[in-house]
Structure 1
Amino acid sequence: MKQRLFGRTGRLVSEIGFGSWGIGGAQWTAVDDTEAMNAITSSLDLGVTFIDTADVYGDGRSEKLIAQALRGRSERPYIATKAGKRLPSQVTSGYTLANLRDWVSRSRDYLETDILDLVQLHCPPTDLYYHQEVFEALDRLVEEKLIRNYGVSVEKIEEAIKAIEYPNVTSVQIIFNILRQRPIELFFELAKKKNVAVIARVPLASGLLSGKFSRSSIFDKEDHRNFNRNGEFFDVGETFSGMPYEQGLDVVEKIRPLVNGSETMAQFALRWILMFDAVSVVIPGARTVAQARSNAAASALPAIPDEVMAQIRAIYDADVRPFVHQRW
């Protein structure tokens, strides 16, 4: 497993991380504890040293499963959690020092640690990024040794660019994949200049880029790929990366011939992300041992040829850009 520097922390992390939204059991097809634990353990055994979670994934289930999987292991991975979605409504005024301290305390308990490696504001309202006092509250938590570092998880490029104006923002988590290429244009260069770590989330566009779905695919009623296709419950960009499902399927078929026969389409999609040196870590989800192994194997794939990268960009410009580029 190849490693990359995680921004200004000086910490090396595996370039393939473990995204734990899916094992939380909420907004995805259910996965039992044993299967989830095996997926985490297999990822760690394969060299994964970065785990991303959140306090609302399964109302803490994800954090608890991670803590359980780490018991008895000699080395602890870098764990990034998130805070803010526990608010009854997403308003900037809810991001007080008292609330942040409460959320951090809960995550420390669930992750069984005295200090959290990284706490990310969990896709807060855009207005929050114009309120310095929120970031001063996070500085206070660092001073109190409750967290080592803090970052943000964003929906929009505007939010990412504004966030890194604050000098102690260590990382930005952003949707980046073959179907969401806008971060390449400006944000990546700004992040590199400021030595801010970039966490690429939703790398497979909710599984769309695995190449395993069709127009007849059926998703569980509790799965966001069923109930949030038009953004009914949260930002539509989190579901299939905001791409209309049927058009997304058509794009996948145009990409499929570019995939080397020795790799899966999902692995190709992960390797595409790793072609960008601004990315510190990509966090595909894994709910089974097989998925964990497939994800980890993407780190060993050869670089994608320039001509193939150009073809991917051409497909994006023609068939994807009109749907997503200016929305986020």
Structure 2
Amino acid sequence: MTSSTPLETRPLGRTGAAVSVVGLGTWQLGGDWGNVSEHDAAGVLDAVLDAGVTLLDTADVYGDGRSEERIRSALADRGERPFVATKVGRRADPFVAEQYTPENLRAWVDRSRRNLGMDTLDLVQLHCPPPAVFSDERVYDTLDTLVEEQAIAAYGASVETVAEGLTALQHPGVQTVQVILNVFRRKPLEELLPAAQRAEVGILARVPLASGLLTGKYDESTTFAADDHRTFNRHGEAFDVGETFSGVPFEVGVAAAREVAEIAGPEESTAAFALRWVIDQPGVTTVIPGARNIKQALDNVAAASLPPLTDAQLADLERVYDERIRAHVHDRW
């Protein structure tokens, strides 16, 4: 399909790019969400690009490069390509701040350039590194050099915590901050998004559906494949537990999501409703939900055409957060 109405776009910080308010996160197309076939991955990418999405977010560790390579294949036959944001740093072994050397950063960037088939990467984000990295001037100096050499056009940071985001914003070369933001993770609204607006830094909102909780399709008996992070990282066994269900205990999130579905009403997709909430937060540039199939992908894109939530709906969502969610997540991230 081809979108008859172009998606709303917003400036991505000071990069000079304008990107669609709904992008596509491509973790699912690499791994850790159960198997997504080549056919399904290509279908998702083609569907969102035909629907007007102009930002794809990936990382070098999604499927050990598979996500980046699938994006390269999807873009091979397209004239005008979207803005592609990737991330580097999680290949560090061991995963410690000392691994973020100029040599390693350059090697990681060069690998992504090969995977994506791009001489100059549009945006490279530090991929939720150890906290000390956000204060390491050597890291930013290296990224500045890579910009000067035109290996990358811009750089930013993907963070786990608000505090990390605020630290990243202190560095003038940082063009974007990627952070978990959804109706179950509201803390960035207090300080991080206003600070990013003041600094003219773009915000990429990830995990906007709380790993699928905010689709309203799960119940307490729902299970996931063994190779899905919603199974193997439910308690933070593999990486920060905040990346899985936004850090909300599954049964708590399922019950809260039922209330969100009721607030959205029977005429509205719960997922699109939850995405619209993110789009409307001041300071957000784009929201980057993932999708495992074409239907999910197009349902997500539909959020861009929804009207803003009503004051009553916003108040009800805040009540659900305060009553069910806040105690589990607010002070942790």
TM-score, with length taken from structure 2:
0.97
Partner of 2:278: 273
Q: Which segment is superposed worse, 39-48 or 284-293?
A: 284-293
Does 2:164 correspond to 1:159? yes
Question: How many Å separate the matches in 2 of 1:292 and 1:250?
Answer: 25
Identity rate, percent: 48
Measure the CA separation in 1 of the matches of 2:9 and 2:282. Answer: 12
| Equivalent residue number for residue 9 of structure 1 | 15
SS across alignment from 2:255:
helix
Say whether the 8 Å CA contact 2:264–2:313 is kept in structure 1. no
Q: Which moved more, 1:286-295 or 1:140-149?
A: 286-295
Cα distance between partner residues in 2 of 1:313 and 1:276: 13
Question: 2:3 corresponds to which residue?
Answer: none
Q: How does 1:229-244 map to 2 (within 5 A)?
A: 229-244=234-249
**CA deviations over 1:2-41 (Å, ceiling 9, x no partner):** 11111111211000001000010x2111010011001001
1:80 to 72, 77, 85: 85
Map 1:63-212 onto structure 2 (within 5 A): 63-212=68-217
Residue 245 of structure 1 pairs with residue 264 of structure 2: no
Structure 1 residue 124: Cα displacement: 0.3
Cα offsets for 1:91-121 (capped at 9, x unmatched): 1111111111111111111101100000000
C-alpha contact 2:126 2:157 (8 A) present in aligned 1: yes
Q: Which runs of structure 2 are paired with 1:291-310 in the superposition (5 Å)?
A: 291-310=296-315
Q: 2: distance between equivalents of 1:322 and 1:74?
A: 49
Runs of 4+ in 1 over 3 A off after TM superposition: none
Partner of 1:43: 48
- Which residue matches 1:21? 27
Q: Distance in 2 between matches of 1:305 and 1:264?
A: 16
Instruction: Find the aligned partners of 2:132 and 2:156 in 1 and give their Cα distance.
Output: 16
Moved more, 196-205 or 7-16: 7-16
Instruction: Choose which of 3, 14, 38 in structure 2 pairs with 1:33.
Output: 38
Give CA-to-partner distance per residue, 1:51-81, whole Å, 9 cap, x none: 0000000000000000000012111100000
Equivalent pairs, count: 327
Partner deviation per Cα, 1:129-159 (whole Å, 9 max, x = no partner): 1211111110010011100000000001110
**Does 1:254 pair with 2:266?**
no
SS of match in other structure, 1:218: coil
**Bigger mean CA deviation after superposition, 50-59 or 122-131:** 122-131
CA contact (8 A) 2:177 2:202 kept: yes
**CA deviation digits over 1:181-203, x for unaligned, max 9?**
00001111100000000000000
5+ long unaligned stretches in structure 1: none
1:254-277 deviation digits (Å, cap 9, x = unpaired): 222111333210011100101113
**TM-score, scaled to structure 1:** 0.98
C-alpha contact (below 8 Å) 2:41/2:293 kept by paired residues: yes
Name the CA distance, whole Å, in 2 between partners of 1:256 and 1:34: 31
Aligned residue type for 1:247: V
Superposition CA RMSD, Å: 0.8
Gapped runs of 5+ residues in structure 2?
1-6
User: Comparing 46-55 with 210-219, which one deviates more in the overlay?
Assistant: 210-219
CA distance in 1, matches of 2:15, 2:128: 22
Give the residue type in structure 2 aligned to 1:288. N
Structure 2 SS opposite 1:58 = coil
Match of 2:4 in 1: none
In structure 2, give the amino acid aligned to 1:4.
R
Is 1:216 aligned to residue 221 of structure 2? yes
Counterparts of 1:289 and 1:55 in 2: how far apart (Å)? 23
Counterpart-to-counterpart distance in 2, 1:232 and 1:58: 18
